[in-house]
Structure 1
Amino acid sequence: MKIGILGLGLIGGSLGYDLRSQGHHVLGVSRRQSTCQKAIALGSVDEASVDMSLLATADVVFICTPIGLIVPQFQQLISHLSAATIITDVASVKTPIVKALAPLWRNFIGGHPMAGTADSGIEAAQRDLFLGRPYVLTPDTTTPTSVISVVEEIVRSLGANIYHCQPEQHDRAVSWISHLPVMVSAALIAACMGETDPDVLQLAQNLASSGFRDTSRVGGGNPELGLMMAQYNRQALLGSLQEYRHNLDELINLIEQENWTVLEAKLQSTQQARPNFVE
């Protein structure tokens, strides 16, 4: 099968590695010629170009650009494709993407691989990035079953675990476990940088270890991605942030009141709940 990848960053490049290993012929398109050359040299794609017409012969196209570029680049892309071409995306927000693209292309299905690292660019791409990770598909009532089957087959070949849901359900769920942690983690780093004593700040930086590394990782990631999460999943993220603030206020009150019994119960509850989210 010929598979096109529009956007050769971390996700697009990683897809290319795995799809080529499955025997597919991978066509890549990037905004920069240097990225195209690097993707070929690294073995992520078979062919690459800055010209979208390269994807004209693709059976399936994965749109892997930043969220803000998906709709405008999709509109350019479809002028090069036959009506039979299947298109999917990898955006971490689904509702606005599906609403914009599904009416324009019958063979479109929204998708989101829940995989990634704090790094970005083709250099960050890696093999088996999706192995054992969730991969969400958001078909609607008009999505042809043949389209769902083809994309499911490709996703399974990546070793990912497939989940189906409505775009709105997806966006609410990821606001809790993906987008909220980015904002909380960013706030943690910003709060630490608010220390006014330079000696104490330096000491904190010297002493920071695994606990700080784990809780600050996503807040120190790609700023563009965090901004897009906030812009395109604004309502769901605001709801999650407000609930988080409510819980933070509750902890502050318990500590101010020295209510150690209730605080301990709260921490026991969160200890018991965590395995439901993280194996």
Structure 2
Amino acid sequence: MKIGIVGLGLIGGSLGLALRSHGHTVFGVSRQAQTCQRAIARGAVDDASLSLALMATVDVVFLCTPLAAMQATVVALKPHLAPETVLTDVGSVKGWVVKTITPLWSNFVGGHPMAGTADSGIEAAQPDLFVNAAYVLTPTEATPTAAVQRVEDLVRPLQTRLYHCTPDDHDRAVAWISHLPVMTSASLIAACREETDPAVLGLAQMLASSGFRDTSRVGGGNPELGVMMAQYNQAALTRSLHAYRNQLNEVITHIEHADWRSLTVLLEQTRQARSGFLREGGGSEEVKG
């Protein structure tokens, strides 16, 4: 199959590497000539260009641009596509994307691979990035069944865990497990910077180890991505932030009142609950909502 990828960063480049390893022909488009050259050199694409005209003969296009650029990209892309071409995206927000892109291209399937690294750009692309990663599709009643099937046929062989849900359910779910952690992790780093004694702050920085590294990782990522999560998933993220603040207030109360029994109960509950959010293994299922 001929595949188009618009946006050759970490996700777009990794998709190219993975899809080419399964025998597909991949064409890429980037805003920078250097990125096109590196994508070809790394084997992420068969050919790459600055022009969207390269997408004229492809069967499926993966939109791997930032959310803020997606609408304009589709408007510019439409004149170059055959009517039967399927569009799908990789954005971390689905409600806004589906509502915005579907009127522009009826053969559109909302998608979100739940994969990534601390690094970005074509140099960070990995052919096995999606192995055992959740890959969410958010078709609506108006989404053509054939379009959904075509995207499934492409991403399932990448050893993803394929899920279906509504765009709104997706956004509420990722607000909890993806967007909220970015904001709380960033807040952790910001709170540490409030230490007023330079010697203590320096000591804390020297002593920081795996615990701080793990909890602060997503808060130290690309600021643009964090802002887009907040901007395009504002309602769901605000809801989850308020809930998180309530939990923090509860912890503060337990500690201020030396209520170690209640704190122990809370920590035991969270210890047991954590495994439910860290499912491993393959499989696919449709999440009804």
Q: Which amino acid aligns with 1:99?
A: K
TM-score, with structure 1 as normaliser: 0.99
Partner SS state of residue 186, structure 1: helix
Aligned to 1:58: 58
How many residues in Structure 1 have an aligned counterpart in Structure 2? 279
Q: Quote the Cα distance in structure 2 between the aligned partners of 1:87 and 1:215.
A: 35
TM-score, with structure 2 as normaliser: 0.96
Q: Which amino acid aligns with 1:183?
A: M
- 1:145 CA drift (Å): 1.1
Q: Which amino acid aligns with 2:278?
A: V
Aligned to 2:90: 90
Aligned to 2:224: 224
C-alpha contact 1:119 1:222 (8 A) present in aligned 2: no
- 1:186 CA drift (Å): 0.2
Partner SS state of residue 104, structure 1: coil
Gaps of 5+ in 2: 280-289
Q: Quote the Cα distance in structure 1 between the aligned partners of 2:266 and 2:274.
A: 12
Aligned to 2:73: 73
- 1:153 CA drift (Å): 0.7
Aligned to 2:286: none
Q: Which amino acid aligns with 2:4?
A: G
Q: Quote the Cα distance in structure 1 between the aligned partners of 2:187 and 2:107.
A: 41
Q: Which amino acid aligns with 1:60?
A: V
Aligned to 1:145: 145
Q: Quote the Cα distance in structure 1 between the aligned partners of 2:57 and 2:184.
A: 44
Aligned to 1:159: 159
Runs of 4+ in 1 over 6 A off after TM superposition: none
Aligned to 2:284: none
Aligned to 1:130: 130
**Residues 178-206 of structure 1: CA distance to partner in whole angstroms, max 9, x if unpaired?**
00000000000011111111110111011
Partner SS state of residue 102, structure 2: helix
| Cα RMSD (Å) | 0.6
- 1:157 CA drift (Å): 1.4
Q: Quote the Cα distance in structure 2 between the aligned partners of 1:22 and 1:266.
A: 47
Partner SS state of residue 135, structure 1: strand
Percent identity among equivalent residues? 62
Q: Quote the Cα distance in structure 2 between the aligned partners of 1:278 and 1:158.
A: 20
Aligned to 1:257: 257
Aligned to 2:120: 120
Q: Quote the Cα distance in structure 2 between the aligned partners of 1:137 and 1:22.
A: 21
- 1:103 CA drift (Å): 1.8
C-alpha contact 1:36 1:49 (8 A) present in aligned 2: yes
